[in-house]
């Protein structure tokens, strides 16, 4: 079915029906800035209130506040590679910023915004906290049972990973189109040839 002048009605085939790049980039920027600010503010509070204090139960043993200064990656792995991790974080932030220019999917904007917030949150610690630039320790303070201590940036990165996987499985690209929209269709005349067979 087609609209006037042969325009496709299918929303997937009509780019004007998808959110504009400006709107999706605004979602990306808002999520990234909000997540980044939340991560920084909670870390400042954690350091000021939990330094030298015993564990603080928030919800019994289910959620406990414990200040940990982590020199490594997730789950305190790779503690001897802090400079490498800092460099990778800088590269990741640049790549995410570059990809954000092509966004026309709100879910991708949300996912990449969360990823940027998480990467920048932990990178800020590595750049500005002790023992020095590129070697700073990341502030972790949230603890669940049988789980390593983490922070808001880690939550943002995990949320981003989940959204990116959902979009990948759905076949949705950064520009909001689906993989099937880019599959080559039959060449003109092929359908007629098949009908004769």
Q: Which of 102, 115, 121 is nearest to 25 (CA)?
A: 102
Long-range contacts of 18-23, Cβ-Cβ distance < 8 Å, separation of 24 or more: 18/104, 18/105, 18/175, 18/176, 18/177, 19/104, 19/105, 19/106, 19/176, 20/104, 21/101, 21/102, 21/103, 21/104
- Side-by-side strand order, sheet with 63-70: 56-59, 63-70, 138-143
Q: Which residues are catalytic?
A: 140, 154
Is-cis flag, bond preceding 87, omega within 30? no
Neighbours of 46 (CB within 10 A): 20
């Amino acid at each position: 079915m087609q609209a006037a002048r042969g325009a496709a009605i299918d929303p997937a085939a009509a780019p004007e029906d998808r959110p504009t790049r400006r709107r999706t980039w605004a979602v990306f920027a808002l999520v990234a800035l909000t997540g980044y600010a939340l991560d920084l503010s909670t870390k400042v509070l954690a350091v000021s209130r939990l330094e030298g204090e015993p564990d603080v139960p928030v919800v019994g043993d289910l959620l406990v506040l414990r200040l940990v200064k982590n020199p490594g990656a997730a789950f305190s792995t790779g503690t001897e590679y802090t400079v490498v991790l800092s460099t990778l974080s800088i590269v990741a932030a640049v790549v995410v910023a570059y990809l954000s220019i092509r966004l026309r999917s709100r879910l991708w904007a949300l996912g990449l915004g969360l990823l940027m917030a998480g990467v920048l949150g932990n990178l800020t610690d590595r750049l500005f906290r002790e023992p020095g630039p590129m070697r700073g320790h990341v502030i972790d303070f949230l603890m669940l049972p049988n789980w390593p201590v983490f922070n808001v940036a880690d939550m943002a990165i995990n949320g981003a990973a989940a959204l990116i996987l959902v979009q990948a499985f759905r076949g949705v690209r950064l520009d909001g189109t689906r993989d099937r929209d880019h599959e080559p269709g039959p060449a003109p005349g092929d359908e007629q040839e098949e009908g004769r067979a």
